Structure formats: structure tokens, C-alpha cells
Amino acid sequence: MIARLLQAARLLLAEERTAIIRKEKDKWVVRSPHNKSWCGGRYDTKEEAEKRLREVEGFKHRGGSFVSAGLADDLTSKMSDLLARPLDVVASKDVAAFLADRFSFQVARTPSGQKDLKKAVESLHWWLQHGVAQYRDNPEAARTSIEHAWGKVEPHLADLVRNFSAEGGRNVPKEIVVGANTYVNLVGFSEPQLRKYSDSLEKVFSELRGWRTRALTGGVRVVLAGPRDFRGTASGTYRSAEDALYVRATPKVLQRTAGTYGAFDYIIVHELGHRYQAVHRSMNVDFDRPEWLTSKYSHKDGEGFAELFALSNFGIHGYGSPETLERFEALMSGRDHQPKPELPEHLRHLKQL
């Protein structure tokens, strides 16, 4: 009897878990207890895997969906920026305007059970809009009150988005599959918006030239993420431990820039260069040696190949000698005497548009 109860308890706990950690060969792997094909990343240490596990579990406890991520991240980013520097009347009013524009807390109706949250948001907005201005000669005098009000709002961002914004209550897909590629919706886009972003990225993928299409081998896992998942202003980054291309989901993704150096599509192709290296490990050339360096960024350890990959794909000159790019193209085109690769069928159609 006791054994059966213990087994039942273990099953209930497993159902509550979003992910678990398993040791697979020499890696610590974050897995789903319900979906054997899902992988949340492979890590060298258990500590790294546990950190990723906490992130995955955090998504669940924010409210069980991805609805809140986009607006919540935007508000958190704006408040963090505001409080990280001396308080300023103009900057405070800008955040107040964002709050009033995106969240409907200044109306008579209060969603069921959200009275305290509504009061907290009203207080935060008042201090941002009027409180700092009252202390114009010494704006820092309002800091304690703003931090106190924000402290009451921040833990309930999922409820704030769900109950006080136009984004709440939508049917939000966790991911969509386009051809061989999977787009993970970490920011909570509606399906039409998610498909706009995936279409834009598929167009970038379709512009890969020649042998570079091998960077798409097996399909690419693209994670559309918010500011918290990036350092600085990076627009995209390839994370080899997860075999995932993280893309900062901003309107830049929808803008075509025709391969200008450092533009969004250039950065995506650069990061696909890192995936090419990760997937095709048989290369025995050190592209970080001086004879292969091109742009200033290529001097960073591990960036030589990715810069050559992107520069040569778009035919961009002015970064290093043309001879270096020609030598790189000749080397990679003839590598292993493999037949010329073809784009996946669903991308060949995009290339013709």
C-alpha cells in the first residue's frame, strides 16, 4: 500500500515538472519528462543545466503560457534602465506614457481579483508621471517611492499583461514549424505575428549561397526571445549547447537591409556561420590565424570563420583583402569534393520572390 502511494506521488511530481536534468554520456541534458524528443540544452556542468532548468520552470510559473513575455520584458527593461541612472523627469514621464499606452488600468472596470494590482500600477504611474516632477530640484527624492511601487508590480507582471492589456487572453502558440525549421515563441507573439517573423527569417535563410546552405542541415531551431535573453544590444546569437539560434524579437527582424555589414540579416548569417562550424566539425583549418582575419570583429577569438562566412555570402568588400575572401571561397567550395548543396524546397520558393 505504501509503495503504491509513493509511486503515485512520484507520478504527480513528474506531471508538475516542466523539465528534468539527465546525464547523457559526458553532458548534463535538460529534458522534458513528457516529450522525449524535446531538449532544452546540453551542458558541460550540472550547475549550468540547473540554471537552464530554473529558467524553463520560471516560464511555467509566470502563468503557464508565453503571453506575458513580450510586454513584461519591455516594461522590465524600461524600469531597469530608469532606475539604473539618476532619476530624470523626462525619462520618468516616458515610462509613464508607455505604461498608460499599453495597460488599461485607468478605467472604471477592475478584473476579478486584480484590485490590489490595479492600485499598485496606478501608484507606480502617478510617481512616474507626477512624483518625480514634484521633486524637480531633487528628483532622487522620489526614488524610494518608485522602487516601492515597482516592487509591488514586478512580481505580478504575468497577471498585469493577462488582465490589463490587449495581449492578454490570446491563443499563443509555443512554436511553429516551417519546413525543417522550428520557431520557438518565447516572447508570446500571436500566430499571425509569429509567422511574420518566421517569414522574414526564412527569407534570410533562402539567401544563403552555395555551400553555406549546409548551415541549415537538420533544420534550425530559432528562439524568438526578449531583451533578458541577450547581452547588450546583440540582435542574434547561436548557442551551440542548445543548437539554437536566439533572435531578439524586435521590428528589426522585419526590415530587409540587403546584407549591409552589421545589419540584422548580416548578423543572422554570421551566427549561422557558427552553426556551420558546430554541425560540420571536420574542418581542420584555424580561421582565427592572422592570414584569415578580415573585420575588426574577426579578431575576437572564435569569430574568424563566422565573419568570413557572412562577408563572402553577401559579397561585402572593404573588410580585409579581397584575396582573403577569394581564398576562403575557393577552400570551402571545394571542401571534401562534396556535390553542390541545394536549398530546402520550401526556401527555394522564397528565393524566387
How many DSSP H helices and E strands does the chain contain? Answer: 13, 8
Higher-confidence residue of 118 and 101: namely 118
Query: Cell for 298?
Result: 574577426
- CA 195 and chain centroid, separation: 16
CB 66 within 8 A of CB 88: no
Query: Cell for 250?
Result: 524586435
Question: Which pLDDT value is given to residue 282?
Answer: 63
Question: Which pLDDT value is given to residue 149?
Answer: 95
Q: What average pLDDT does the chain have?
A: 80
CA–CA distance, 99 with 33 (Å, rounded to integer): 39
Of 3-7, 241-245, 297-301, least confident by mean pLDDT is 3-7
**Three-state SS for 30?**
strand
Residue ranges and CATH numbers for the domains of the chain are: 2-61 (no CATH), 69-164 (no CATH), 175-351 (3.40.390)
Residue tagged 580585409 (cell numbers) = 320
Mean pLDDT in residue range 154-171:
75
Q: What is the pLDDT of residues 190-210, one digit of tens each?
A: 788 889 999 999 999 998 999
CB 194 within 8 A of CB 183: yes
For 186-195, b/e burial (b = at least 16 CB within 10 A) is bbbbeeebbb
Question: Which pLDDT value is given to residue 11?
Answer: 43
Asked if the model's pLDDT at residue 39 lies above 80, the reply is no
Pairing, β 39-43 against β 181-185: unpaired
Q: Residue 41: in which H helix or E strand, if any?
A: strand 39-43
Q: What is the pLDDT of residues 237-281, one digit of tens each?
A: 999 999 999 998 877 666 656 668 888 889 999 999 999 999 887
